Structure 1
Amino acid sequence: MTTVRTLRIAAGAEAVSLAVLLGNLVTTHTQSVSALIGPLHGTAYLVVIAAAAMIPAAPPGTRWRAAVPGVGGLLALRRIADRSRAGGDPRTGAM
């Protein structure tokens, strides 16, 4: 599995788990949902940071965008996609 694909999966898991946690907070605030989804969200956040750090030729600013809690993975993927549209390698974001 490529690093960008790993980042894409972890970013999705991070965003969805944040939405579930916030939805749980404003509705029923069920402890079991928080206990199950909270560690999943934390793990996805760490995987996003690690995957962004492992991209060999990541565009400038990708790594710090990945560190933004909740949506960092999506921001990092957008940065990589913007760079690849500008003429770089779509798999790595390299120019």
Structure 2
Amino acid sequence: MNPRRTLHVLGSVELGTLALLLLNLVTVHHRTISGVLGPVHGLAYTATIITAVLLAGGRTQVWLRAFVPGIGGLLAARAVGSRPVPE
């Protein structure tokens, strides 16, 4: 899996869990849903940042974009592009 695809998947999971958390908040506000989705969103957010830092290859703009909650992973995926990361 290329770096852009990895960040895109993590960013999508992060955005999806955030959307579900907000939907739960404005509708039924069920504690069990929040209790499950909250940690999943936190893990996805943290994994997105760590992955962006590892894949940045010295490009600060990549990992800085990952810090934006919700869409940071998708922004970082766009910044990574599909070029190979130097080792």
Superposition TM-score, scaled by structure 2 size: 0.83
Equivalent residue pairs, number? 86
Structure 2 residue runs without a partner (length 5+): none
Hey, what does 2:23 align to over in structure 1?
Answer: 23
Structure 1 residue runs without a partner (length 5+): 82-89
Q: In the superposition, relative to structure 1, how do residues 91 and 7 fare at CA in structure 2: closer, same or farther (>3 Å)? A: same
Hey, what does 2:5 align to over in structure 1?
Answer: 5
Stretch moving more, 48-57 or 28-37: 48-57
Hey, what does 1:73 align to over in structure 2?
Answer: 73
Q: Is the 8 A contact 1:21 1:38 kept in 2?
A: yes
Aligned identity (percent) is 41
Output one character per residue of 1:16-68: Cα deviation in whole Å (capped at 9) or x when no partner: 00000000000010101000100000000000001101115364411111011
CA root-mean-square deviation: 2.0
Q: In the superposition, relative to structure 1, how do residues 56 and 65 fare at CA in structure 2: closer, same or farther (>3 Å)? A: closer
Q: Indicate the structure whose relative CO is greater, using CA pairs within 8 Å and at least 6 residues apart.
A: 2
Hey, what does 2:63 align to over in structure 1?
Answer: 63
Structure 2 letter corresponding to 1:63? W
Q: How far is the alpha carbon of 1:74 from its aligned partner?
A: 1.1
